[in-house]
Amino acid sequence: MNTKEIKKTEEEYFINTFSRQPIVLDKGHGATVYDKDGNKYTDFFAGIAVNNLGHTHPKVVEAIKTQSEKLIHISNIYYNEPNVILGKKLVDLTCLDKIFFSNSGAEANEGAIKLAIKYTGKTEIIAMKNSFHGRTIATLTATGQDAYKKDYLENLPHGFKHAEFGDIESIKNQITDETAAIMIEPIQGEGGVNIPSKEFYKQLNKLCEEKEILLILDEVQTGFGRCGSMFAYEIFGIKPDIMTLAKAMGGGMPIGAILASDKVASAFSPGDHGTTFGGGPFVSAVANAAIDAIIEENLVNESKEKGEYFKDKLLKLKDKHSKIKEVRGMGLMIGIELKEPCSALVNKLREKGFLVNCTAGSVLRFLPPLVISKKEIDALIKVLNGVLE
């Protein structure tokens, strides 16, 4: 099929849920992707913060080849070695003690909510305004953006409340005797790359401890080096009781996880939660390779260093262009808030060979692979400077 036929067929056969960019991506390597018509793009979106290793990373490809010839799926009725290795790896990498594997971020958050309710025996979760936690019914309810849930309001589960992100008083005001957990992204991604202060997280740790409320940290987007540390909780000194991961974890494979402290994890016994696909040998082997590659190639430091370089250049653009309201970011999770909607800019940049994203209406969001080069960053800055004029 050619580009036109692909687009037409999709339109005819698919449920209309995505407003897709009008290109068909066909192949890629590192931060470079090509469409069906042979046009070349530098990818500053990385499949929504999934391709931290870039496209078709050799270690990921090798693991796919090796494991796919050995064993792909067995269910959780049996043990599999790649999954046990992955579970130990993630527990050793984080501040938490126990793990459960899911297939996506939303599913990890669903499980986290169940675990918090089961452990505390309470009924309320306080999430943040402008947050994003997924598209399933419960995670949609936790999500603090009306646009995603306005058509389902009558059917959403009870027990979810929303406080102002970064505002400890607003959270305090929502706490009742029934509060099981506070659910929060360290940095809000879909909400517009919103970054609270370290002081806020210090107060939040204290509040949760005092009130014996669990802290569910959604690191689905911020994890695996994205923000310049392996996990964003390290930057802010956040002490989660439960943490969720997905996106970059599998090097492109659909896999997620719930991590919890020993104490909290002990609330689940066999039968309380489960999954058919979660933690299968294939996705686990690929995730092992992806995480090892992030560590071996020192990509966490690369993210921090190149993120600062990138942000610096964007701040210089801000001095030149009055359209830019603010530049904010950590590591290679960077947003520039414009004084106008940013979708036209996304189209212009794509036409000039750069894939970027617009979120929260007016925030141009950059989530490049951590393997992006400074040369590629320079090239984007040059083009962005041009299109802003």
Q: Binding residues for ligand PLP, how many (CB under 6 A)?
A: 15
Answer yes or no whether residue 282 interacts with ligand PLP by CB under 6 A: no
Q: Is the dihedral of CA 231, 234, 236, 237 positive or negative?
A: positive
Stretch that binds ligand PLP, among 79-87, 167-175, 215-223, 355-363 (CB under 6 A): 215-223
Residues in contact with ligand PLP, shown as a per-residue x/- string from 176 to 205 under the rule CB under 6 A: ---------x---xx---------------
Shortest approach of ligand PLP to residue 316 CB, angstroms? 29
Answer yes or no whether residue 132 interacts with ligand PLP by CB under 6 A: yes
Instruction: Please say which residue, 324 or 356, places its beta carbon nearer to ligand PLP.
Output: 356
Instruction: Please say which residue, 26 or 234, places its beta carbon nearer to ligand PLP.
Output: 234
Residues in contact with ligand PLP, shown as a per-residue x/- string from 223 to 262 under the rule CB under 6 A: -----------------------xx---------------
Dihedrals phi, psi of 19, to nearest 5 degrees: -95, 90
Stretch that binds ligand PLP, among 126-134, 229-237, 281-289, 315-323 (CB under 6 A): 126-134
Instruction: Please say which residue, 253 or 380, places its beta carbon nearer to ligand PLP.
Output: 253
Within positions 357 to 376, which residues make up the interface with ligand PLP, using CB under 6 A?
Answer: none
Stretch that binds ligand PLP, among 15-23, 216-224, 260-268, 277-285 (CB under 6 A): 216-224
Shortest approach of ligand PLP to residue 320 CB, angstroms? 31
Stretch that binds ligand PLP, among 214-222, 230-238, 309-317, 373-381 (CB under 6 A): 214-222
Tokens of 313: 């250049």
Stretch that binds ligand PLP, among 11-19, 25-33, 218-226, 364-372 (CB under 6 A): 218-226
Answer yes or no whether residue 220 interacts with ligand PLP by CB under 6 A: yes
Instruction: Please say which residue, 120 or 221, places its beta carbon nearer to ligand PLP.
Output: 221
Within positions 49 to 108, which residues make up the interface with ligand PLP, using CB under 6 A?
Answer: 104-106
Q: Are 120 and 181 in contact (CB under 8 A)?
A: yes
Answer yes or no whether residue 111 interacts with ligand PLP by CB under 6 A: no
Interface positions with ligand PLP (CB under 6 A): 104-106, 109, 132-134, 185, 189-190, 218, 220-221, 246-247
